[in-house]
Structure 1
Amino acid sequence: MKRQITVGQELPPLIKGPISHVDLVKYAGASGDFNPIHTVESFAKEVGLGGVIAHGMLTMAYVGQLLTDFAGNEADLLDFSVRFRAMVRPGDTITCLGTITKVEPVASGLLASIQVSAQTQNGEVAVKGSAVLRFDQGEVDVK
């Protein structure tokens, strides 16, 4: 069955967390980003952050998962960019959201432009951005 893609359609939300200190240490190891503001509480306090903060790229990765979960095997991620707007801390739960803003038929299929965001349990927007998915011809219907 073909998937329907509609302007205004919301992607199924992705909820991650609560973020733990162990998550930050694991991400530091996976990414190679060992900046102590992400893993050493005393250092993060000393530099005025009030405690460790999650890697911005970890929050972006969660939004990337939202997109790839939605795309499945039927689409390619062509473009993805975000702006980091607020810090994420251990204990925060992140909800990733997306809304299709434009659908454009092209020779190779269909382009779907998507506005994305990630927000904390308090509604604070940590990441905001956009993405473009290309769905293969014959996999989708436009409504």
Structure 2
Amino acid sequence: MAATVRYDEVETGEQIPAVDYPVRRTNLVMYAGASGDFNPIHWNERFAKTVGLPDVIAHGMFTMAQGGRFVTDWAGDPGAVVDYGVRFSSMVVVPDDDQGTVITVSGIIEEKLEDKRVVVALTAKANGSRVLSRARAVVQLS
């Protein structure tokens, strides 16, 4: 775990460096088991294509979780996120190969609030497209 980020050490407008999260079909199957979402669009290429998708796609909540992971890793405290919301703007297509795909998440300190909280605006991209929009987390810092 990263060192805990302190409120007095961050500034509005400060960039949080991007992190790459590899995604393979195995990750989606494991997520399906953990979440109970076994929709075949997340693991069966033939089915996904019959319903008009380009290939298997990652669960939206899996994609959202990578943004949450990014923030908690940055803050150094898994309990630091006090509010988190996103809109899904594009699918994360996951091909059946050794490479899979990558979700790249970065952030910026958008605002410093009272009580040592900050608003972090996130950018998440995969396959050249933004996959989350209006992604914001309110984070409690020490």
Change (3 A) 1:28 1:74: closer
Q: Which runs of 4+ in 1 moved over 3 A?
A: none
Match of 2:11 in 1: 6
Between the two proteins, what is the percent identity of the paired residues? 40
2:5·2:74 contact (CA, 8 Å) conserved in 1?
A: no
TM-score, with normalisation over the residues of structure 1? 0.84
Cα separation, 2, equivalents of 1:74 and 1:87: 26
Counterpart of 2:112 (choices 85, 88, 103) is 103
Which structure: larger Rg? 1
Change (3 A) 1:74 1:84: closer
Q: Aligned-pair distance for 1:59?
A: 0.9
Cα separation, 1, equivalents of 2:67 and 2:123: 7
Cα separation, 2, equivalents of 1:45 and 1:102: 42
Change (3 A) 1:75 1:34: closer
Cα separation, 1, equivalents of 2:38 and 2:21: 22
| Corresponding letter in the other structure for 1:113 | V
Q: Aligned-pair distance for 1:13?
A: 1.6
Change (3 A) 1:44 1:72: same
Cα separation, 2, equivalents of 1:21 and 1:2: 33
1:74·1:135 contact (CA, 8 Å) conserved in 2?
A: no
Match of 1:53 in 2: 57
Change (3 A) 1:121 1:42: closer
Match of 1:40 in 2: 44
Structure 2 unaligned spans of 5+: 95-99
Specify the SS of the correspondent of 2:86: strand
Counterpart of 1:69 (choices 70, 73, 88) is 73
Structure 1 unaligned spans of 5+: 137-143
1:12·1:70 contact (CA, 8 Å) conserved in 2?
A: no
1:53·1:87 contact (CA, 8 Å) conserved in 2?
A: yes
Q: Aligned-pair distance for 1:75?
A: 6.6
Q: Deviations over 1:53-103 (max 9, x none)?
A: 111111111110110011113972111000000010112211001111111
| Corresponding letter in the other structure for 2:104 | T
